[in-house]
Structure 1
Amino acid sequence: MMHKPSDSLLKHDYPVLVKTNENSPKGCFLSVSSPQSADTVPVPCPPRPEFAFNKSVIQWQENKEILNMIFPPRQWAEGSDLWVQQVSRVPGSRADVVQLKKLLDTKLQQKQARQTGICPIRRELYAQCFDEIIRQVTINCAERGLLLLRVRDEINMTIAAYHTLYESSVAVGFRKALQSEQRKYQLKQKISDLENENEDLKIQLTDQKEKFGLTEKSKTKKRLALCEEIQLLKKKNEDLKTQLVEIIAKQTQKPET
């Protein structure tokens, strides 16, 4: 369902209520200023006015068609009624331009548009102001209006290209940020695993040191015991040698006696 358009800086005529006349040829509409009752007899389509084909009339018709091409009529529905509002064809004066400037400043202040940076509200109001300037110029000189239309379309294309580039850049940045966060999470997990592994290795190292200390103490005790045993064996060996020498000496001394 079409809704009533909001106010715009682009000047329009008064809206017209459009009713379809079922008895008229296809595509013919009846324009009235107020709704008709059910008993009202449908009025046939008014005859097309016959203009003298002089230069001014032809120029007016061309400008009218160009304005309709540049700014198509606005349509909206209220219940079962269809309203149509066409752009104004009244030429703009110096006072209109001054009034347009005041109205632009007023709307910028009322809608609290930003003075700098990116602001959709400010951009929309300036676009409406530019459309109104194109309308005023087109009425006086259609060629100049069409040239301004090309400028407007080129500006809109450039803004759309920047908007697409911005969206793609945001998407790429968002994807990179997600990848970075994922990589950061993986690195944190890896650091945590390495820290846990390091703690386990420290515990194992402490256990091995304790085992090594106990083994060294046991070996030292065994070494000392072995050394004492060797000393005892050496002493015993010396005693046996001494006894053996004494026995041999006694044996050698007996025959002489």
Structure 2
Amino acid sequence: MISPAESLLKYDDPVLLSRGTDRKSPKARPLRVSNEQPPVTSCVPPPPKPRSDHTTTQQHQEIIDAILPPREWMEANQLWVQQVSSTPSTRDDVVTLRELLELKMQQRHGRETGICPVRRELYSQCFDELIRHVTINCDERGLLLSKMRDEIQITIAVYQTLHESSSAFGMKKAVHAKHGKTDLETTISDLENENQDLEKQVNEQKAECEALKKRETERRQVEEQNHTQEIQCLTRTIQQMKVSYFIIIFEAKKQCKV
């Protein structure tokens, strides 16, 4: 592991732990709260034992470690541990924190609006530093703020999960829509080709129908012409037969008179 990056959260100087030591990380130490009651020897309870400054400081440090765990890293095969500072803060520290936050935002090009992981990281570090300030003065306030911080982080994680799942669902739908679009384009192309073929067949059928109509018209004209000629021929034949009949009748009458 490499050394941890700079943070807006104030830490003490790192402490070197040997590789074979049995000392545990401060963040793994549970809070030690004594529930033992002194033995009752009389009706009047003895006065409570005053807590030593060392015990109070140790419990206070344990609360800070529980809220803001120390960070550990390996460097040159050696384990380094760095605890959160328990030094009380002043007004100047708050002003310096604000200036440092603005400087980090400029250096890391954090965006003032919209979704920005850099801004979220820096503001989370700044919030942890403010929790440290409050916890040094009042443990209960620090614990309450840590619960609020954890709840906010859980809410953000839920929204991030929903965003990722919705993005994945959207991408999946987009891929399906793309494939569906390709299939529809192929279907449209096939239908257009089929339509062109059908239009070609219709045109061929129309041409064939026009040719057939033209042939039938010509054939009917020829038949009508032949029929007209035949009628004329028959009419002439009938007239000739009538003339011959009248001639025969006239000749017959003439012979009868003689």
Q: TM-score, normalised by structure 1?
A: 0.81
User: 1:98 is matched with which residue?
Assistant: 95
1:178 aligns with 2:175: yes
Q: Following superposition, which runs of at least 4 residues in structure 1 exceed 4 angstroms of deviation? A: none
- The alignment yields a C-alpha RMSD, in angstroms, of 2.1
The one-letter amino acid of 2:15's match is V
Aligned equivalent of 1:239: 236
Q: Aligned residues, how many?
A: 230
Residue type matched to 2:56 in 1?
A: Q
**Partner Cα distance (1:28, 1:13) in 2:** 18
For the residues of structure 2 that align with 1:20 and 1:225, how far apart are their CA atoms? 121
Equivalent of 1:196 in 190, 193, 196? 193
1:174 and 1:206, CA in 2 relative to 1: closer, same or farther beyond 3 A?
same
- 1:162-189 deviation line (CA, Å, top 9, x unaligned): 1112112212222222233233323322
> Where does residue 32 of structure 2 map in the other structure?
none
Identity rate, percent: 44
1:18 corresponds to: 17
Unaligned runs of 5+ in 1: 30-51
Report the counterpart of residue 149 of structure 2 in structure 1.
152
For residues 55-82 of structure 1, the C-alpha deviation after alignment (integer angstroms, 9 at most, x for no partner) is 6444322221111212222111123211
What's the counterpart of residue 212 of structure 2?
215
Distance of 1:216 and 1:11 partners within structure 2: 102
Distance 1:115 1:225 in 2: 96
Task: Judge conservation of contact 1:89–1:139 (CA < 8 Å) in 2.
Answer: yes
Letter in 2 for 1:19: S
Letter of the structure 1 residue corresponding to residue 3 of structure 2: K
Q: CA deviation at 1:222?
A: 0.6
C-alpha separation in 2, matches of 1:65 and 1:74: 14
- 1:110-125 equivalence runs, <5 A: 110-125=107-122
| CA–CA distance in structure 2, aligned partners of residues 65 and 185 of structure 1 | 63
Gapped regions of structure 2 (runs ≥ 5)? 25-48
In the superposition, relative to structure 1, how do residues 163 and 28 fare at CA in structure 2: closer, same or farther (>3 Å)?
Answer: closer
